[in-house]
């Protein structure tokens, strides 16, 4: 049977591929990374990916698919482990230099700011949030809202004037 017509999705072919390649890939990973249990897990995962993608993979490409999948999974596991160790060693800050008064004032200010933003007209609020929160440029906002850049500038200017006035007059 020509190799191009052999289906990896056939159970017998899949089992044959497992018998031919699983142990070799496992030892390859073990020799390269030094962890037999992890190597066996990765081989199982690689064959599971092969089964999920069996209809997309040609029989002639199975070996390279398995080795590449297994090697990438090993590298990802090592990178993940290094990241975990890096953050495990760094001590998390459990205190703050901010006084309780500052925290209360900050909370009150954020409440007033949110109230002021909610008091803006729809167009002004939309432009303000897109620019200041989502970091969109005036040009991007203009394209999204299908208005001119000048209209965006005007809405933003009015929004800032209203916010300054509202927050300033709220005795803060």
Interval 56-74: pLDDT, tens? 888 888 998 899 999 888 8
In terms of pLDDT, which residue wins out, 90 or 56? 56
CB neighbour list of residue 61: distance below 8 Å, 6 or more residues apart:
none
Average pLDDT, the chain: 85
Answer yes or no: pTM beyond 0.75. Answer: no
With bands split at pLDDT 50, 70 and 90, how would you rate the model's confidence at 13? confident
The predicted pLDDT at position 171 comes to 54
DSSP one-letter code for 146: T
Query: Exposure string (b/e) for 49-76, b if CB count within 10 Å is 16 or more?
Result: bbeeebeebebeebeebbbebbbebbee
Q: Are 50 and 66 in contact (CB under 8 A)?
A: yes
The predicted pLDDT at position 100 comes to 84
Per-residue pLDDT tens digits for 17-26: 999 999 999 9
The predicted pLDDT at position 92 comes to 62
Q: Is the pLDDT at 90 greater than 70, yes or no?
A: no
In terms of pLDDT, which residue wins out, 4 or 52? 52
Q: Enter the tokens of residue 101.
A: 């008064």
Distance of CA 109 to the CA centre of its chain: 32
CB neighbour list of residue 9: distance below 8 Å, 6 or more residues apart:
54, 55
In terms of pLDDT, which residue wins out, 88 or 129? 129
Query: Exposure string (b/e) for 148-168, b if CB count within 10 Å is 16 or more?
Result: eeebbeebbebbeebbeebee
The predicted pLDDT at position 115 comes to 85
The predicted pLDDT at position 91 comes to 63
Biggest distance spanned by C-alpha atoms of the chain: 85
> Given the structure tokens 């591929």, which residue do they identify?
17
């Amino acid at each position: 049977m020509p190799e191009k017509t052999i289906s990896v999705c056939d159970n017998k072919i899949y089992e044959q591929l497992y018998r031919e390649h699983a142990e070799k890939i496992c030892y390859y990973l073990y020799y390269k990374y030094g962890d037999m249990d992890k190597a066996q897990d990765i081989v199982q995962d690689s064959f599971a990916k092969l089964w999920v993608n069996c209809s997309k993979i040609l029989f002639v490409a199975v070996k390279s698919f398995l080795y590449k999948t297994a090697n990438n999974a090993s590298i990802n596991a090592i990178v993940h482990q290094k990241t975990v160790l890096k953050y495990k060693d760094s001590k998390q800050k459990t205190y703050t230099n901010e006084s309780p008064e500052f925290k209360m004032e900050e909370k009150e200010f954020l409440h007033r700011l949110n109230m002021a933003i909610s008091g803006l007209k729809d167009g002004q609020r939309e432009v303000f949030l897109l620019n200041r929160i989502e970091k969109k440029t005036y040009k991007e906002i203009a394209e999204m809202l299908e208005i001119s850049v000048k209209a965006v500038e005007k809405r933003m200017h009015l929004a800032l004037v209203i916010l300054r006035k509202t927050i300033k007059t709220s005795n803060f």
